[in-house]
Structure 1
Amino acid sequence: MTISILLGATVILLCILAEKFSGQFGMPALILFMFVGILFGSDGIIKIPFSNYTLAEEICSIALLFIMFYGGFNTKWKAAKNSAGKALLLSTVGVLITAGITAVLCMFLLKFSLLESLLIGAVLSSTDAASVFAILRKQKLNLKDGTASLLELESASNDPFAYLLTVVIVSLLKAEKSVNIPLQVFMQLSVGVVAAIIFAWIAVYLLLKTKIIAEGLDTIFLIAIMLMCYAFTELCGGNIYLSVYLLGLIIGNSKIKNKNIIIPFLDGVTSLAQILIFFLLGLLTFPHKMISVIPIAIAIALFVTVIARPIAVFLLLRPFKSSIQQCLLISWSGLRGAASSVFAIFVLVSGVTLHYDLFHIVFLVSLFSVAIQGTFLPLVAQKLAMIDKDSDVRKTFNDYQEESAITLMRMFIPKGHSWVNKQIKDVNLPAGSLAIMIKRNHNTIITKGDTKILAGDIIILNVPAYEPKEDEALEEIHIDKSHNWRNKPIANLNLPQDMLIALIIRGDENLIPDGNTVIQENDVVVTYH
C-alpha cells in the first residue's frame, strides 16, 4: 500500500514538472503526461504490468466527467452565445461528417470493414476540450471573430455526440437484434438533456434560495450533484457526457455565489483528471505493439487533419460568412485527445471483436494530433492573421473576474464644507475608508494624518468594495464599432429600469458619467443591475 501511494505521488509530481517544462519547449503538457505513463508501463523503465482495460475505462470515464463538467461550468455563455449556432453545427453535423469521411478512408484505403471503419471514424470524430482549453489559455491566444469562444464551445460539446455514434456502432457490431437505433438515439439525447436541466435546477435552487449547503461546502455539493446526474442518466439510458456538460454549463452561468472559490477548485480537480487520463493511456500502451500500426495511424491522422475536418468546417461555416482564415484555423484546431482514447477503451471493454488494434491506433493519432497541431496552433493563428491584440481570451471563461469592484471614490470639497481647514485625522471618513491622495490645482498630494483639507480639494478615498447580492451585478460591456450604444449620450439609451451606468473606463481614465456623457468606441462601460 505504501509503495503504491509513493508511486502515485511520484507520478503526480513528475506530471507537474512536465507541465512546467512543456511551456519552455512550446509543447502541450498532455503529451508529456502520456510519456510519463509510457515510462512507468510494461515496456518502460519502471515496468508496471498494467493491461486492465475495464479498470482503466472506469477510471478514465469518471475523470472525463470532471473535464466535461468543468468545460461547461467555465464556458461563459455571454461570450459564447453569438457563436453557439456554429459551434452546435460543428459538434453534431460536423462530428457526423468527420466520422463519415474518415470511415471512407478506412474502407477504401485501409481495407477495413464498413462497421469497423465507421467505428474508428466515430471514436476519432470529436475534438479534445482539455487540449484546446489548455493551449488557448497557456499560449494566451486572443483570436479574432469570436473564434476562441467557438472553439471552446465546440470542443466541449462534441464529445457527447461522438460518444452517441460510438455507442450506436458498437451495438451494430455486437449484432444485438433487440436494439432499436432510433429509440436509442432518442433516449440518449432526451434523457441527457432532461437530467441536466432537473439536476441543474435543484443545484441552483439549493445554492441560491436556501441555506442548506453550509458555507465552504459548495464545491463538494456540486461534485455530488454531478455524480448524481451522471448515475441517474446512465441508469435511464441517457448520454452521460451530454448531461454532465449541460449541467456544468447551466450552473456555471447562473448567479450562484463563491464562483471565485469553486472555479479554482474545479480547475485543480480537472488538471488532476487530465493527468490521470493521459498517464493511464500511456501506462496501457505497449510501444513494441505500436510499431506495426504507425503507418495506419499516420495515414488516419493526416486524413482527419487535412481532409475530413477541413471539409466539415468549410461546409458548415462558409454559408455563415466565416472567413477562409477562420475556417482554416478552426480546421487546424481540431485536436484529437483524451476523449477519443477513452471511447476506444470503452469499445474494447464492450466485448467487440475487431481486426485491428483500435487502442494503439487511436493513441498514436491523438499523440500526433496534440504534438503537431497543438504545438503549431499559435504559429498557424499568427500566419493566418487571426490574432486579435485588443481582445483577451481569458474573458471567454467564467473564471475571468468580469465584475468590476469600484474601490476608489472621488469627493469634492466645496467652500463652506465642514471639512475645510481640518486635518485628515480630525474628519469622520466613511467607515473602512482611507484618504489616499488630494488633487489640488493640478497637483497631487499624498495624504497623511496632519494633511490639511482646503476648499476646492478633490479627495480620493479608498473605500471597501461592495459585494453584490446574487440578484445584483457590476458588469463590464466593451463597446466595439458595431455596438448600438456607440456615439450615443447615456440619456438617449433605452436602458432597463433596473440598470445604471456606474462608470466608463476610457483608456487610462475612469469617468463618472451623467446623462450627457457620450459613449465612444473602445469604452468599457460598467453597469450596475
Structure 2
Amino acid sequence: MPIISPEVALLSVGILLLLTVLAGTLSSRFGLPALIGFLALGMLAGVDGPGGISFEDYLLTQGISVACLIFILFSGGLDTEWRDVRRVAAPALLLATVGVLLSAAIVGGAAMLILGFGPFQGFLLGAVVASTDAAAVFAILRSSDMKLNADARALIEVESGSNDPMAIFLVGAALLFLATPGTSALSLGADFVLQMAAGGIIGAVAGWLMAEILKRSPYVHGGLAFVISVASVLIAYGCAQIVGGNGFLAAYVAGLMAGNRDYTARPIVATFQDGLAWLAQVAMFLTLGLLITPSNLTHVIGPGLAITFILMLVARPLSVFLCLWPFRQFGWRAKLFISWAGLRGAVPIVLATFPIVAGVPGAFAIFNIVFFVVLLSSLIQGPTMNWLARRLGMVPAEDPQTVPAPQ
C-alpha cells in the first residue's frame, strides 16, 4: 500500500472538501438537496469512480458520522425558539417516539414479506430508516424563505431534531434481540426511559453552563467563545453516553438551552456553529459517499424501490396521521405535508453501519437498501416539498419569493 505524505493528504482533503461544496451548490441549482451533491462526489472519488479511493472502514465512518451529527443537532437546537418547542412539544414527542416505532414496525413487516427477513432482522431494517434526518430537514427549511404555517414548521424541525434517539434505541434493541433472543422487553423499556431522561437532563445542564460561562467571562467576542461552545457539545454528548443516557438528545437539548439564554456572544456563537454544522454535513456525506460502492446497488433496486415507497406512502403518513389525530390545530393538509417532509438522510446510513460492525447476517444488504432509500427520498421528496406546500395552501401562492429552490 503506497504511503501518502501528510502534505499530499492534507491537500487532497482540502480539494475534496472544496469540490464537495461546489457539488452541493450545483445540485441545489437543479432543485435537489445539497446532500445529493455531497454524496455524489464521495461516490465519484470512491472505488467505483474516477478517484479510485478504496475505503471500507465502517467503524471509522461510524465514528466520523457520530461526531458530525452531534454538531448538526447542537446547531439545530441553537436556532430553535423555545416558544416554538413549547407550542408543539406534545405532538413532536409523539412523532419522535410512537411515530418512529410505528414506521419501524410497518417497514419491518414489509421487509419480512418482500425480502424474506426474519422478524428481528426486518424490524432492524425498519428501525434504521424510521427517523427523519435533522441535517436534511434543517438544510431545506432554513435555507429557503418558505412561509409555512408556524406550527407545522416548528413541528417538523423539533421532530427531526429529537427523533434520532428513538431510532438509535430501536436499532440497539433489534441488535440485542438478534444476539440474545431471550432479552426482556420490559428491561429495554426501563433502559429507554433512563436514556431519554439522562440525555435531556445532562443536555440542559451543559447548555445552561455554556451560557453562564459566556455571560460571566471575558470571552465575549474572542475566538475562545467558539472553543467553549465546541467543548460544551462534546461534554454534553460524552457525559450522557458515559452515564447511560442518549448523547444525541443531550447535544440537541444543550443547543436548545444555550440558544434560548441571553448572553452577548450568542449571535457569533450561533453563526460559528452554523458554519461548523455545514462543515460536518460536508465531511459526513463525503465519507458516506466514499463508503458506497455503486455497483452493489444494482442488486437491491427492486427491494429498495419497494421499501422506499412503503416508507414514503404508507409508514410515514400512517404514523403522522395517527400521532397527530388528537391535535386539532393540524388539519389533513398539514398532516399530509408533514408526512412528505420526513426526509431521510445521513442518520439512516450511519445506523446501517451498526449491523455491519456487529456482524449481523445480511448486514451488507441492509446497508445497500438503506442507501437506496435515502437516495430516492432525497431525489423525490426534497425537490417537491416547496411544490407540495403551494399545492396544499401551506404558503401564500401570490408571493413569488416564498419558495426558492432548496439548498
* TM-score, normalization by structure 1: 0.71
Written as runs of structure 1 = structure 2, the 5 A alignment for 1:225-264 is 225-264=232-271
Distance 2:218 2:31 in 1: 46
Instruction: Compute the displacement of 1:190 (Å).
Output: 2.3
Secondary structure class of the residue paired with 2:378: helix
- The equivalent residue for 1:448 is none
Matched, 1:142 2:147: yes
For 2:129, the aligned partner's letter is: L
The letter for the 1-side match of 2:385 is L
Question: Of 376, 387, 394, which aligns to 1:379?
Answer: 387
Q: Which residue of 2 aligns with 1:211?
A: 217
* CA shift in 2, pair 1:385/1:112, >3 Å: same
Match of 1:431 in 2: none
Q: Which residue pairs with 1:336 in the alignment?
A: 344
| Cα distance per residue 1:153-209 (max 9 Å; x no partner) | 11111111111111121111121867842342233122212211332232232222x
Letter in 2 for 1:260: P
- Please list, as runs of the form range in 1=range in 2, the aligned pairs for 1:285-304 lying within 5 A after superposition: 285-304=292-311
Contact 1:53 1:345 in 2 (8 A): yes
Cα distance in 2, alignment partners of residues 152 and 47 from structure 1: 38
> Match for 2:365 among 357, 371, 383?
357
1:153 and 2:158 matched: yes
1:214 to 1:386, Cα distance in 2 relative to 1, 3 A: closer
Partners of 1:71 and 1:156 within 8 A in 2? yes
Partner of 2:48: 43
- Aligned residue for 2:115, secondary structure, equals coil
Q: Which amino acid aligns with 1:118?
A: F
- Report matched runs for 1:37-436 at 5 Å: 37-144=42-149, 146-175=151-180, 180-208=187-215, 210-211=216-217, 213=219, 215-216=221-222, 217-321=224-328, 322-354=330-362, 357-388=365-396
Distance in 1 between the 2:397 and 2:265 partners? Answer: 31
1:133 and 1:244 map into 2 onto residues whose CA distance is 16
One-letter identity of the residue aligned with 1:387: V
Deviation at 1:259, TM superposition (A): 2.0
SS in 2 for 1:47: coil
Is the 1:206–1:212 contact (alpha carbons within 8 Å) kept by the matching residues of 2?
no
* AA in 2 matched with 1:174: A
**Which secondary structure state, in structure 1, belongs to the residue aligned with residue 394 of structure 2?**
coil
Quote the RMSD (CA, aligned, Å). Answer: 2.1
Matched residues in 2 for 1:388 and 1:88: separation?
29
In 1: Cα distance, 2:105 partner to 2:181 partner: 22
User: Matched residues in 1 for 2:398 and 2:199: separation?
Assistant: 38
> Does structure 1 retain, via aligned residues, the 8 Å contact 2:221–2:265?
no
Which of 20, 23, 27 does residue 28 from structure 2 map onto? Answer: 23
Encode CA deviations 1:267-304: one digit per residue, 9 max, x unaligned: 11100111111111110011111100111111111000
Alpha-carbon deviations, 1:376-401, whole Å to 9, x = none?
1111111111114799999xxxxxxx
Is the CA contact 2:133–2:347 (under 8 Å) kept in the aligned structure 1? yes
Q: Per the alignment, in what secondary structure is the counterpart of residue 263 of structure 2? A: coil
- C-alpha separation between the residues in 2 aligned to 1:88 and 1:181? 19
**AA paired with 1:218?**
A
Question: How far does the alpha carbon of each residue in 1:363-415 deviate from its partner, in whole angstroms, 9 at most, with x for none?
Answer: 11001101110011111111111114799999xxxxxxxxxxxxxxxxxxxxx
Q: Check whether the contact 2:208–2:254 (CA below 8 A) recurs between aligned residues.
A: no
Moved more, 247-256 or 144-153: 144-153
Unmatched runs of 5 consecutive residues or more in structure 1: 395-529
1:326–1:386 Cα contact (<8 Å) kept = yes
Unaligned runs of 5+ in 2: 1-5
Pick the structure with more strand per residue: 1
How many angstroms apart in 2 are the aligned matches of 1:185 and 1:393? 41
Displacement, 1:95? 0.7
1:356 CA drift (Å): 5.6
The answer to whether the Cα contact below 8 Å between 1:70 and 1:248 also exists between their aligned partners in 2 is yes
> d(CA) in 2 for partners of 1:239 and 1:212?
32
Structure 2 distance, partners of 1:144, 1:128, is 20
* Alpha-carbon distance between aligned partners in 1 of 2:259 and 2:372, rounded to the nearest angstrom: 34
Relative contact order, higher structure (CA 8 A, sep 6+): 2
Question: Which one of the candidate residues 19, 44, 59 is aligned to 1:14?
Answer: 19
Tell me how far apart the structure 2 counterparts of residues 178 and 313 of structure 1 sit (CA, whole Å): 30
Identical aligned pairs, as a percentage?
37
List per-residue Cα deviations over 1:485-522 (Å, max 9, x = no partner). Answer: xxxxxxxxxxxxxxxxxxxxxxxxxxxxxxxxxxxxxx
Q: Displacement of 1:81 after TM fit?
A: 2.6
Contact kept, 8 Å, 1:139 with 1:378, in 2: the verdict is: no
More helix per residue = 2
The structure that has the greater radius of gyration is: 1
CA distance in 2, matches of 1:98, 1:176: 22
3-state SS, counterpart of residue 342 of structure 2: coil
After TM superposition, what 4+ stretches of structure 1 lie above 6 angstroms from structure 2? 176-179, 389-394
Q: Is the 8 A contact 2:77 2:252 kept in 1?
A: yes
Residues paired across the two proteins, number: 393
Q: 1:225 and 1:377 mapped to 2: Cα distance?
A: 34
Q: What CA distance in whole angstroms lies between the structure 2 residues aligned with 1:82 and 1:271? A: 28
